C-alpha cells in the first residue's frame, strides 16, 4: 500500500512539474514589436516650362595678343644701353632692346663695301669708252656711295651688253655679298617691334651671347586674349564679335571681351572647340586666371534643376499622391552645378532637394511652409 501511495505521489509531482514548466515557458514568450512606419518629408517644386538661357562657362589664363620671344642670331658681348634690360621695363617702337658688340664684324662689312667701291671705280674708264651712254648714271652712283651708310641699290641695266660687262667684272656678285653682310650686321641690334614691356630677361649687360640663345620675352600690355573651350554642339553658335562676360575667381573685378576668332578644327580627344576672347583693361596682366560666360542660346520649353537630382539613367523623381515615382527626361545642357531638361510635363511635382535612400514607391510627405512637418 505504501508503494502505491509513493507511486501516485511521484506521478502527481511529475505532472505538477510539467505543468509549472509549461506555464513558465508560455509566460516567457515576448511579443515582437511592430516596426514604426516612417514617412520622410521632401522638398518639391512644381514644373513650369519656360525659355531657359544657356550660358557656357569656361576659364583660362590671359596671354598677350602680341608677344615676341627674343633670340640671338649672332654671337657677341651684350653692350650696355640707355635703358636697362630688365623685366617690367617699357620700350617704345624702334627703341633698342639689345645691342651686341659688332666692332669686329662692322670692320669686315666696311672692308667689303670699300672693295665694291674700288671695283666700280676701276671700270669707270672702260665705261666712258665702251658705254658712254651709261657712264653718267654710274658716275652718279659713285658720287652717292657713302661707306657710313647702307649700300645704295645698283643702277638699272639698260642693255644686255652692259649687264654682261658688269657681271663679268664681278660687280653684281660683290654688291649682293655686301648687302648680305649688311643684313647680318643689322642683327647685332634688336629693336622693339612695337610699344611694349619686357616680361622676361635671361641675359644682362656684359653677357657673352651665343647664336640661337633665347634672350627674353616682349609683349604688348594693351591687348590680351583668353582661350576658352566649348562643346562641339555649340560651335555653330560662336560668332566673331560676340560679347563675353569675364570675371576673376573672387568675382571682385569684371570685364567685357569679344570673340576675336574661332578655331576651325575640333579637338579629337575632348570633342571641344577653341574660341579666343580679346579683352582690354588697365588691371589686366598676362597669366591672370579668368572665368568666361558666353551666351549660347535659349532652350524653349525647358527647366533648370540641380545636377544631383538627375540619375545616371536620365531620370528624376516626381511625387504622385504622396508616393515617389520616376520619369525619363532629356538633358540638353550640363552646367557646373545645374542641368537644363526638356520633356518634363507642366504641373509635375518634382523633388527640389536630393532625398537619401529614395526609391520608386516610397511613401513621402511634401514639405509645406508654415506648417509643422514631423516624421510619423
* Domain containing residue 291: CATH number: 2.40.30.170
Q: With contact defined as beta carbons under 8 Å apart, do 260 and 275 qualify?
A: no
Alpha carbon separation from 82 to 44, 79, 88, 99, 355 (Å, rounded): 72, 10, 15, 10, 71
Contacts of 112 (CB under 8 A, 6+ apart): 174, 177, 178, 181
Close Cβ partners of 59 (under 8 Å, ≥ 6 residues apart): 228, 289, 290, 291, 292
228 and 330 both lie in a single domain:
no
Nearest CA-CA partner of 278 in 18, 63, 96? 63
**Do 225 and 294 sit in the same domain of this protein?**
yes
Q: How far apart are CA 196 and CA 299, in angstroms?
A: 44
Distance CA 87, CA 216 (A): 9
Domain span holding position 181: 104-186
**112 and 87 both lie in a single domain:** no
| Domain count of the fold of the chain | 4
Q: What is the residue-level pLDDT of the chain in tens, covering all 376 positions?
A: 666 776 776 666 777 776 766 676 666 555 555 556 677 888 889 999 999 888 878 888 999 999 999 999 999 999 988 888 999 999 999 999 999 999 999 999 999 999 999 999 999 988 888 888 888 999 999 889 998 889 999 998 888 888 888 888 899 999 999 999 999 999 999 999 999 999 999 999 999 999 999 999 999 999 999 988 887 777 776 778 888 889 888 878 888 899 888 888 888 888 888 889 999 887 888 989 998 887 777 888 899 999 899 988 899 999 988 888 999 999 888 877 888 998 899 998 998 898 888 888 888 888 877 554 444 3
What's the whole-model pTM score? 0.67
Unique residue bearing C-alpha cell 674700288: 118
CA 165 to chain centre: 62
- SS3 label, residue 224: strand
Q: Which DSSP letter does residue 266 get?
A: E
- Say if residue 159 is in the same domain as residue 290: no
* Rounded Cα–Cα distance for residues 80 and 129 (Å): 53
Instruction: Identify the three-state secondary structure at position 142.
Output: helix
| Nine cell digits for residue 309 | 537630382
Amino acid at each position: 500500500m505504501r508503494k502505491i501511495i509513493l507511486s501516485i505521489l511521484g506521478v502527481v509531482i511529475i505532472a505538477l512539474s510539467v505543468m509549472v514548466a509549461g506555464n513558465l515557458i508560455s509566460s516567457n514568450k515576448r511579443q515582437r514589436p511592430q516596426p514604426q512606419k516612417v514617412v520622410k518629408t521632401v522638398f518639391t517644386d512644381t514644373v513650369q516650362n519656360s525659355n531657359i538661357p544657356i550660358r557656357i562657362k569656361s576659364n583660362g589664363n590671359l596671354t598677350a595678343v602680341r608677344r615676341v620671344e627674343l633670340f640671338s642670331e649672332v654671337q657677341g658681348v651684350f653692350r650696355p644701353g640707355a635703358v636697362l634690360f630688365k623685366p617690367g621695363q617699357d620700350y617704345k617702337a624702334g627703341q633698342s632692346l639689345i645691342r651686341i658688340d659688332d666692332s669686329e664684324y662692322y670692320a669686315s662689312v666696311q672692308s667689303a663695301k670699300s672693295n665694291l667701291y674700288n671695283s666700280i671705280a676701276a671700270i669707270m674708264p672702260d665705261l666712258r669708252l665702251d658705254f658712254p651712254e651709261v657712264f653718267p648714271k654710274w658716275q652718279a652712283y659713285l658720287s652717292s656711295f657713302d661707306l657710313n651708310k647702307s649700300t645704295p641699290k645698283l643702277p638699272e641695266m639698260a642693255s644686255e651688253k652692259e649687264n654682261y660687262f658688269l657681271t663679268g667684272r664681278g660687280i653684281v656678285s660683290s654688291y649682293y655679298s655686301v648687302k648680305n653682310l649688311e643684313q647680318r650686321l643689322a642683327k647685332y641690334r634688336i629693336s622693339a617691334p612695337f610699344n611694349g614691356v619686357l616680361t622676361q630677361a635671361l641675359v644682362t649687360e656684359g653677357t657673352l651671347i651665343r647664336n640661337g640663345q633665347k634672350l627674353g620675352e616682349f609683349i604688348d600690355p594693351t591687348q590680351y586674349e583668353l582661350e576658352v573651350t566649348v562643346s562641339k554642339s555649340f560651335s555653330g553658335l560662336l560668332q566673331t564679335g560676340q560679347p563675353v562676360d569675364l570675371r576673376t575667381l573672387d568675382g571682385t573685378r569684371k570685364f567685357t571681351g569679344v570673340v576675336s576668332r574661332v578655331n576651325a578644327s575640333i579637338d579629337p580627344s575632348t570633342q571641344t572647340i577653341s574660341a579666343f576672347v580679346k579683352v582690354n583693361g588697365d588691371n589686366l596682366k598676362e597669366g591672370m586666371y579668368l572665368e568666361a560666360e558666353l551666351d549660347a542660346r535659349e532652350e524653349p520649353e525647358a527647366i533648370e534643376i540641380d545636377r544631383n537630382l538627375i540619375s545616371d539613367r536620365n531620370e528624376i523623381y516626381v511625387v504622385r499622391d504622396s508616393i515617389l515615382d520616376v520619369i525619363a527626361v532629356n538633358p540638353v545642357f550640363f552646367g557646373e552645378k545645374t542641368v537644363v531638361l526638356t520633356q518634363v510635363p507642366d504641373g509635375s511635382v518634382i523633388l527640389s532637394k536630393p532625398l537619401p535612400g529614395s526609391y520608386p514607391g516610397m511613401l513621402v510627405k511634401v514639405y509645406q511652409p508654415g506648417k509643422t512637418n514631423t516624421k510619423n
